[in-house]
Amino acid sequence: MSPIPFMRGLVAGLCLLVGTEAVLVGLDLALPPPMDKIARASPVVEDAHGVWLGALPVEDGRWRMRADLAHVDPVFVRRLIALEDARFGQHLGVDPVAIARAALSDLTAGRVRSGGSTLTMQLARRLQPRPRTLIAKLIEAGRALQLEMRLGRQGVLTDYLTLAPYGGDLEGVRAASLAWFGHEPDHLSDAEQALLIALPQAPEARRPDRHPAAAQAARGHILDRLQAARLITPAARALAETDPLPVRHPFPILAWQTTRQLARAAAPGQASVTATLDARLQAQVEALAAQTAQQQGPNTQVAVLVIDVRTRAVRAAVGSVGRDRPGGWIDATRALRSPGSALKPFIYAMAFESGLAAPGTRIKDASAVYADYRPQDFDRSFHGEVTVSQALESSLNVPAVTMLAGVGPSAFEQRLKAAGATFVRPKAGLVSPSLALALGGEGTTLRDIAMLYAALADGGVAKPLAWTRDQAQGRPRQGGVRLVREEAADQVLEILRQGAPPDGHALAQLRPEAQRIAFKTGTSYGYRDALAAGVGGGYVVAVWTGRPDGGARAGLTGRDAALPLVFDVFDRLQAAGGAPDLDQDAGAPPPVALRQIAGQDDPPPVLMFPQDGATLHLDAYGDAGPGLALSAQGHDLSWYVDGAPTPTNPQTGQTLWRPRGPGFYRVEAVDAQGRRAAARVRVAG
């Protein structure tokens, strides 16, 4: 053969190939696949340790949580591909072999039995649903080619596992696993895997909560196919068949207002948001806040913030105690309220650093008139000559106003605003702040109060509060804004530590030095707002109680209505021993059980043996084998292997597991509160 015709043919072939690719790229750019649906996923908000806090549904109230292949059981993924798209790694989105096989099967049966759709074609159908026609099939095939070029194998698989329907308002394997099984999809039993493979084929007809018989039959059919493909042993298949069908688990939510705010602020397609909150502490604080509101009447709401001073991480945030109470939809940590006397410590700190006064300076608490403003003490009496320390500790009004007159209300307000606080005057016509600012004459938020008290606890340096892990990790090294000098801040805190605690709590002198609480209360005009803020043990706790509509509550002061809750929260912090350092990488989060986070002080179970990922060697199995002694830290534990209970010997207290044979198993320890620790292990001869 002459080389010239050969070369011409080669060039022509290359030109045809390049031309075809150019046409395909042009069509892809001109008619891109609709990817907006995959971008609208429900971002899951997790606490600083990876524990579920809540999520935000997408359109039509659907739960669509973005899948993460790193946290999906790899055995499930392999089995899904084997049954749904065996040549997934070999085709380009359309599998001619599967289509030909499906066509032959349909002709033989005289009806449509199989469509030959690949996972990529199924993804295309979920992105843009159409009536099941031949034209729609051809369009899906074209879209599948586009998706393969744009996303690649891993991207296609991730998006498929994000959009696959699992019944009702559930889309994606993560939402399905959390809702049906109560845990993340990183470890799935054989029965769970079979149900998750079966559901997308007929999600409504096979819902286990509405059609249990159909769900049971569909799961059994998938188990049969897995056994036929030698992806599961007959013994494992028989055991999986005995697993009870799951029930729907409600999605729990903690810190619901904060969770919604963080979820809304998530980037498009972001799977998870790691908050600074501590789910365990959050549950405890929510319970304490609800108890406080119950004690103070049906119209009362309560807001609480717990701040880690070093990182400014918000460890707990309660905006209201429930939507069943008036104003429950309002996040009271963001609402403008009068701080009452809560700003007095900052007036004295600025007076100290300017040389206007010192803690031992004597000042008169007597009737005084400033232009047309005549302040009075809360008890409507005067105490004569007192020291500045006594004036602050007793929260006397006239000395505070005197100090503010010396500092200057405009200068005082500007310094607080420069630190990041917001202040709003009750009358828009007021151009300049007045001396009433000392007694709560301008509105601010509980978040700003917490931020300012954190500045006092950090040597007078103000920094914004951190609500996500990324924000908190940078705060220890962030310079911040100097509010007052360190010496002045320390002097004020020492004065605030001398106050008498609320009834039922230990005196400051009886607490360890590191846990002594410096606190200040505030009560607005007409008893509308009761505030308290405390500093101690590296934390700031700020509390507001009141009526959301601003109505008066006779006789409820900051000391009576808010300060006891501040001390109750500090008691929980002391019992918990603080929280892990947010600067340290906590690694991958553990599987999350969708149960109410416990408010008690006992920790969740921790597996000692076996460890996750371990390979266990045995010489014999079943009753003839020596068995394996299961061990975990925790109380009132129940043991399960692949969902089946494993009894504990009541005499010895030992739980002995005798594996039925070699293979992979899921071992779980569950306590009385439903919290679980799990490990996936391999048993080998």
Buried b (16+ CB within 10 A) or exposed e, 413-433: bebbeebbbebebeeeeeeeb
Q: How many CB atoms lie within 10 A of CB 139?
A: 16
Structure tokens at 305: 């913030």
Selecting among 84, 114, 394, 638, the annotated active-site residue is: 84
Going by the DSSP 8-state scheme, the letter that residue 315 receives in this structure is E
Query: Residue 557 — left, alpha, or beta (φ > 0 → left; ψ -120 to 50 → alpha)?
Result: beta
Q: What are the tokens at 445? A: 């938020």
What are the beta bridge partners of residue 540?
307, 535
Tell me the residue length of the chain: 685
Residue located via tokens 């700031």:
540
**What single string gives the DSSP state of each residue in 365-415?**
ES---BTTB----TTS---EEEEHHHHHHTT-HHHHHHHHHHH-HHHHHHH
Which residue, 62, 223, 110, 93, is CA-closest to 157? 93
Asked if 517 and 511 count as a contact pair (C-beta separation under 8 A), the reply is yes
Taking the mean position of all CA atoms in its chain, how far away is CA 385? 52
Three-state DSSP class for 616?
strand
Tell whether the torsion through CA atoms of 120, 245, 595 and 664 is positive or negative: negative
The token duo for 111 is 């009806």
The amino acid that residue 249 corresponds to is H
Q: How far apart are CA 48 and CA 546, in angstroms?
A: 30
If we measure between CA atoms, which residue out of 578, 566, 557 comes closest to residue 517?
566
> Other C-beta atoms within 10 Å of 213: how many?
10
Tokens standing for 307?
């701040």
Q: Catalytic residue at 341?
A: yes
* Residue 160, token pair as written in the block: 């498929």
| CA torsion angle 451 452 457 460 (round to 10) | 120
668 phi, psi to nearest 5 deg = -130, 140
**Cβ contacts of residue 640 below 8 Å, gap of 6+?**
646, 667, 668, 670
272-274 and 44-46 beta bridge pairing: parallel
Alpha carbons 307 and 185: distance in angstroms, whole number: 33
Catalytic member of 338, 341, 434, 524: 341
377: tokens are 């003490």
Q: Are 407 and 445 in contact (CB under 8 A)?
A: no
Secondary structure class of 350 (helix, strand, coil): helix
Interacting residues of 581 by C-beta distance below 8 A, sequence separation 6+: none
Nearest to 446 by CA among 281, 319, 310, 275: 319
Question: Tokens representing 567?
Answer: 């001390």
Name residue 658's amino acid: R
Amino acid at 204: E
User: Would you name the residues annotated as active-site residues?
Assistant: 84, 341
